[in-house]
Structure 1
Amino acid sequence: MLVRYKGRANSLTFNNVMELPEGEALRQRSTRFGNMVHTLNHVYVVDDIFRHHLQGKKHSYTARNTEQTPAVGDLWTAVQEMDRWYIGLVDTWSNEDLSEVVHFEFVGGGEGAMTREKIVLHIVNHGTYHRGFVGDLMYQVPFTPPSNDLPVFIRDHYSCTQ
């Protein structure tokens, strides 16, 4: 459910960002990553880093974001593929698979280890955290984004018995 929620929240956010007046999504603002698209790119990069960890592969990232901000349309295409990848992977896991420990190296150095379950929780929480920043930046346009939080997703996509 959590990776499906992440995909839905990403869809709402990207659709809103792409509806903003020309230039607003890339307008430099007082925020950690400078603009809305670069903030969303950071989420993608971290998702990709953890995808590599889950696959037991090395990645080529030396930072938790790229130097250049990608075009929002290109980033949205990549994020949709990433969301499908996580949903497809998690759908194949058993309860035992969730508890498997994945060892990795942090981008900034140092060893890490997390269960698959904790990695999924991290990527979902991390995306939620940064979509919140993007939502705040949208209010500065001004633009009011729709609610994309978990209880709304559950209300709209799951019954109380699921």
Structure 2
Amino acid sequence: MTDAKQFYDYHSWANKKIFTHIENLPEETAYQEVKSVFPSVSDVLLHMCRADYIWLNVLSGVAYQEIIDSAGKLQSAQGNMAAIKQHAAELESQYHDFFSRQTDLEQTFTMQHPKLGTLESTYADTILHVVNHGTYHRGNVTAMLRQLDHSGVPTDYMYYLYEKRESKG
């Protein structure tokens, strides 16, 4: 079976594809209001960064309230695609640091949520949640781009595998 680290690498690859694609569209595209889950593409991408930040901190054992209190720092990137992309790059680096420290991703850890309670999970399952969450919202971005008369960009896992194979070839 493919390991969680590879799925995270796919997540990073797919996010980069989205950012690159949006950079090649008219600048206002990222900020145009759309009737969707989020008001704009940039809002979706900021949400994805915020979620990745939160889950990285959960994986790192940071207390819930401390995570929530510190997640607000990402809000300064609102409406600024360059800042959102920078946050995404920093998070990717931080996840790789996490992977270098936590080599046993099948290890169980406990997370606490004030309303949902306690949950035991493996690091791998939590990382798969991060990837799945990103996949869902990259789909939102594609739908929003289509509403704005722009094409999306393929970010399916198989495209990642093909590209990965080509880069080895």
For the aligned pair, the TM-score class normalised by the smaller chain equals 0.7 to 0.9
Pair 1:84 & 2:93 matched: yes
Offset of residue 131 of structure 1: 0.5
The whole-number CA distance in structure 2 between the counterparts of 1:79 and 1:32 is 20
Q: Deviations over 1:26-45 (max 9, x none)?
A: 11111122111111111111
Offset of residue 14 of structure 1: 0.8
Pair 1:129 & 2:125 matched: no
**Sequence identity (%):** 22
Q: Normalising by structure 1, what TM-score?
A: 0.83
- Unaligned ranges ≥5, structure 1: none
Aligned residues: 155
Q: Deviations over 1:111-154 (max 9, x none)?
A: 23321010110001110110011011111222212211100111
Among candidates 142, 145, 153, match of residue 146 of structure 1 = 153
SS of structure 2 residue aligned to 1:38: helix
Q: Which has the higher helix share?
A: 2
| Backbone CA RMSD of aligned residues | 2.3
Structure 2 matches for 1:91-130, cutoff 5 A? 91-94=100-103, 97-106=104-113, 109-111=115-117, 112-130=119-137
Runs of 4+ in 1 over 3 A off after TM superposition: 64-68, 91-94
Q: Contact 1:6–1:83 (CA<8 Å) still a contact in 2?
A: no
Q: Normalising by structure 2, what TM-score?
A: 0.80
Among candidates 24, 37, 43, match of residue 42 of structure 2 = 37
The whole-number CA distance in structure 1 between the counterparts of 2:68 and 2:88 is 17
Q: Contact 1:26–1:36 (CA<8 Å) still a contact in 2?
A: yes
- Unaligned ranges ≥5, structure 2: 1-5
Structure 2 matches for 1:24-63, cutoff 5 A? 24-58=29-63, 59-61=66-68
